[in-house]
Chain A
């Protein structure tokens, strides 16, 4: 990465899905454990549950001026509404990652679909940790964070007594993402015919 280049990740979904927590752990992994410059912002509504929730992590080799995302490199969408609302902010060579159980209509084939919530429910036993399953996948796919640092950040940020559950969720996400071969995806989020026009 060029020292002033930015890598931007947006986590999105609805309030209560743990979107902001996932972004905070990502930022902590990158900033505190990997020693890169990182800036994490969020926007949310006044509701505790429901409503749109969005959190961003900007990573750079040099100090970050504008703290929010300019053009998103990786978009995580945990609901169809979030996917529809934010898809257009992705760079053409960016990547869309969705919860396959909740997002049925994909706007691009340059996307990775993993049923995070179902994995959390079936493998870990709690839907609550779907955000950490997603974080594991995002952490692996973005290639911007050491997975050890990510796990350490996670362990330092989750409530006491839930470390094992969260850590298992993170690993489940990493394992799912390992099965994906990004080279097989189209090079652009725009469809082929759009390129030809």
Chain B
């Protein structure tokens, strides 16, 4: 970790969780509130040392409900903020997550997935929180969910998460898993001048003219920090453009449609997929998180056996990258979807599959990472 500070262009050995910390600090995160939990604890531990050194704030809260409240408060005061947790804590995060969505508060939530339900398997990987990340908090709400699969990813996707949350004023969830979190890899992190950082747009009107929730051509209102002299009201109730609760059907409809459409306007920017060997692929594997690495190995091994296989790796899970996945479903006769859950993303893929591509699920829920061999078996027999 020390070498990051010096900005040396040398390879360093970093753990996934350490790389998330490095990415968050590079993106400008200066506030963390959380409650330690395996397998996310290293994120809290390291930030408790690093943040005070940078003039930031670290608070260990009494639980994850309070953690999320503190993160929202910090962000409203103008500081980039995040929390990190695992399944049991992520359940509690949901309470205030909806507040972040309706009040349009930029923040980042890291969920390092472990086996569930309940306390489940604290030290084993899983991908069981995928649909919860999308729909865990109540009400029809917009959200962005990104998945990481390697140590390098942990750094760059965390920066992306902060940038998207600032740009669209929305909570962004990073889904990691126990394997990604605890894998150490030799990586070279980019210099700070090679990293693009996006900060929320502040109002340029005088305070008395400021309307905190007024629409504009981006669909994302300018955001003043508490303490900047722009007095405004923030509430979890549906509100008008001044931020006060409203019962007016027209205002309600306009507001709720805006917070959804600001995300759909940004689809190009938000929906990220990576592909490997897809140019002439007839069979593809669609995977995310640590499983994408097993899938890449399987695809390479399949090529050696003469199977035209390719990998579609989902970085953005939600909003579901429908357009690019659709292209590959039309290209391939079979898509294999390996997941460490009972098929949470394969549902999404099946939902948009209009090309008649055969979807083959492969599900593992015993706390073990899916091996390349398991995927290869499908690739060579379908």
Contact = CB atoms under 8 A, between A and B. Distances in A.
A32 B186 contact: yes
Interface in A36-60: 36-46
A66 interface: yes
A32 B12 CA distance: 5
Nearest to A28: B13
Nearest to A35: B11
Interface stretch (B63-71, B216-224, B294-302, B318-326): B294-302
Interface string B173-206: 0000001001111100000000000000000000
B296 A39 contact: no
Contacts of A37: 185-186
Contacts of B10: 32
B300 A42 contact: no
B182 A41 contact: yes
B36 interface: no
A160 B62 CA distance: 32
B115 to A, nearest CB: 11
A42 B150 CA distance: 15
Contact of B186 (A31, A44, A70): A31
B11 A32 contact: yes
Contacts of A38: 13, 184-186
A95 B183 CA distance: 24
Contacts of B372: 65-66, 70
B123 interface: yes
B183 A39 contact: yes
A177 interface: no
Contacts, number: 72
A67 to B, nearest CB: 5
A138 B179 CA distance: 24
Contacts of B182: 41-42
A187 B122 CA distance: 41
B300 A41 contact: no
A18 B11 CA distance: 25
Contacts of B141: none
B94 interface: no
Q: How large is the interface on B (under 10, 10 to 19, 20 to 34, 35 or more residues)?
A: 20 to 34
B369 interface: yes
Interface in A141-190: none
Nearest to A40: B184
Contacts of B296: 65-66
Nearest to A156: B2
B291 to A, nearest CB: 10
Contacts of A31: 11-13, 184-186
Interface in B94-148: 122-124
B260 interface: no
Nearest to B296: A65
A42 B13 CA distance: 15
Nearest to B124: A43
A36 B11 CA distance: 9
Contacts of A45: 123
Nearest to B370: A66
B293 interface: yes
A126 interface: no
Contact of B293 (A27, A44, A67): A67
B316 interface: no
A128 interface: no
Given A32-B13, A46-B123, A66 B293 contact: yes
Contacts of A70: 297, 371-372
Given A31-B186, A32-B13, A65-B297, A41 B123 contact: no
B164 to A, nearest CB: 26
B57 interface: no
A64 interface: yes
Nearest to B38: A46
Nearest to A36: B186
B290 interface: yes
A90 interface: no
Interface in B1-48: 10-13, 38
Interface in A109-156: none
Given A35-B11, A43-B124, 18 more contacts: A27-B184, A30-B186, A31-B184, A32-B11, A32-B13, A32-B186, A37-B185, A38-B186, A39-B185, A42-B182, A43-B123, A44-B123, A65-B297, A66-B296, A66-B297, A67-B179, A67-B290, A68-B371
Interface of B: 10-13, 38, 122-124, 150, 179, 182-186, 290, 293-294, 296-297, 300, 369, 371-372
18 contacts: A24-B184, A31-B184, A31-B186, A32-B10, A35-B11, A37-B186, A38-B184, A39-B185, A40-B13, A41-B183, A46-B38, A64-B185, A66-B296, A66-B371, A66-B372, A67-B179, A68-B179, A68-B371
The 7 A-B pairs with the shortest beta carbon distances in the complex, nearest first, are: A31-B186, A66-B297, A40-B184, A65-B297, A65-B296, A28-B13, A31-B13
